[in-house]
Amino acid sequence: MLDYSLSTLWHNLLAQLSFAPDQPLMFSSGLFWVLFLLFLPVYALVKSKRKQMLMFVTAFSLLCFYKSSGWHLLLMVATGVIDWMLARRIAASASVSVRRLFLILSITCSLGILLAFKYGNFILLNVDVIIGRNFQPLDIVLPVGISFYTFRTISYVVDVYKRKLQPTDSLLEYLFFISFFPCMIAGPIVRATELFPQIRANKPATRSMIYGGLWLILLGVLKKAVVADYVGQYVTIAFGNPVGYSGLELLMALLGYSVQLYCDFSGYSDMAIGIASVMGFRLPINFDFPYRSLNFTEFWRRWHITLSSWLRDYVYISLGGNRHGKARQYLNLMVTMLVGGLWHGAAWTFVIWGACHGLALCVHKACKPWLSRLPEAGWVRFVSWLVTFATITLLWALFRADSLHSALEIYKGVFTRFDIAYLPVFAHVRNTWCIVMVLAFALHFLPQDIWSQFRRRFIRSRWWVKLVALIMVVQLVLQFANADIQPLIYAQF
């Protein structure tokens, strides 16, 4: 029953804009698009006036942050103010020891907050296991995007320390940088060296940027809200009860998770890059068809590029990179990937996942002289791809499972209960799921030229073509939002 009174409307509007920790403001939600539609005309008006633009976008970013994280936004602002002041001190000081002191202070502050919020309970639980005390987990609400903005502030301060970047004198500019709403929830981890020149130049968005942005947004919505959310339902069911499924079903769940994670994360990145592009900002790409990779080194150049380049520049190279011999290089790689694993989540499964990827990178580096002697034949490329993709897919089990035991159950199921005879039955029972999966893989391997052509055609198309595309994408989201996958559990007695 609907109630068209003003008081109901007002109550519901306030409820929508209030802080709701279980309903973060996602780009795939209707609320965000309503807000963005209100945001856009004002932004268009103030875009040419730099200061007003900075104030308006920062205020909107903070509103988005408040909706998802409540008053944790003060924590982000406080971190921002501290880092902004310390970076200025670092730049102003001639003494190396003073500069280093401020750098350590800034990193300790940023990492300390991240540790407390994201890893507090993980640390407590492990201390509990070691010393045998009965610690209770703390009731901590993780501020949305804390891992992303912490890495952004660290890169800023380190770049200032290394004299790669002049610190900004404007606190507003700095707050704009760390709170910039397109990359607030899930990146890309844009750096000050990439964003500050664009803020200062404040160039107007071109037609190609605006409609190229819309193209990316629609693509991102399709990936996130159609493919990832739909495919993910089966993944949740199978990972929720691995002992109840056959090896083939678990392998399908692993393949499904590969697609789900990629579409979820890259879809969200596409939306972020698209929204920034509409606003006239170019953000770095975050995913470059990663499942086409022929080895692990290539995979990390294509997967979550802004994170892997961050880890390379601020962890791997800071540790010495490849400058101190092979053994040290492998150690540095392992440490970097362990940090990368832990960054994704506070659990041992992530640490082991990071370690496995580190090991795979080391093996690839060690075998490189031998691998480079192999012929450039098609079958060599296929085998390289297959080995890389299969290993990556198997390792996702550690990333997705809620415990090591659960991940091991999945491996056990895949390797001991696998029977290809189930495939036709599986394809029959879960036909829509299989079709979505096949389409997702096929589109992933579509040549890049074709994607660029689609994009160019979309940008040049008439307004009604774009409107039809928008309507079709939104309707697809609505159709798939109601398409549930059944666990199909029945008689086992």
d(CA 75, CA 81): 10
Active-site residues, by number, are: 344
Query: What are the distances in angstroms from CA 477 to CA 236, 273, 439, 482?
Result: 19, 20, 16, 9
d(CA 285, CA 190): 10
Specify the stretch interacting with other proteins by CB under 8 A; choose among 6-14, 123-131, 253-261, 370-378.
Answer: 6-14
| 11 lines the binding site for other proteins (CB under 8 A) | yes
Q: Of 290, 286, 316, 401, whose CA–CA distance to 350 is shortest?
A: 401
| 242 lines the binding site for other proteins (CB under 8 A) | yes
Which residue in the block uniquely carries the two structure tokens 């392998």?
Answer: 251
d(CA 147, CA 140): 15
The contacts of residue 233 (CB under 8 Å, 6+ apart) are 484, 485
Question: Which amino acid belongs to residue 47?
Answer: K
Q: Of 410, 429, 433, whose CA–CA distance to 256 is shortest?
A: 433
The contacts of residue 362 (CB under 8 Å, 6+ apart) are 330, 333, 334
Question: Which amino acid belongs to residue 459?
Answer: I
| 2 lines the binding site for other proteins (CB under 8 A) | yes
Measured from the CB atom, the residue of 1 and 420 that comes closer to other proteins is 1
| 137 lines the binding site for other proteins (CB under 8 A) | no
| CA atoms within 13 A of residue 372's CA, in its CB half-sphere | 5
CB of 278 to other proteins, least distance (A): 7
Q: Contact with other proteins (CB under 8 A): which of 129, 380, 450, 478?
A: 478
- DSSP state letter for 167: P
| 36 lines the binding site for other proteins (CB under 8 A) | yes
Within 172-211, the residues that bind other proteins by CB under 8 A are: 204-207, 210-211
Measured from the CB atom, the residue of 10 and 454 that comes closer to other proteins is 10
| 139 lines the binding site for other proteins (CB under 8 A) | no
CB of 221 to other proteins, least distance (A): 12
Q: Contact with other proteins (CB under 8 A): which of 37, 201, 327, 420?
A: 37
Tokens of 113: 């907050």
| 233 lines the binding site for other proteins (CB under 8 A) | yes
CB of 17 to other proteins, least distance (A): 12
Within 435-464, the residues that bind other proteins by CB under 8 A are: 463
x/- map, 14-33, other proteins, by CB under 8 A: -xx-------------x--x
Q: How many CB atoms sit inside 10 A of residue 65's CB? A: 25
CB of 260 to other proteins, least distance (A): 13
Residues that bind other proteins (CB under 8 A): 1-4, 8-9, 11-13, 15-16, 30, 33-34, 36-37, 40-41, 43-45, 204-207, 210-211, 214, 229, 233, 236-237, 240-244, 278, 428-429, 463, 466-467, 470-471, 474-475, 478-479, 481-482, 484, 486-493
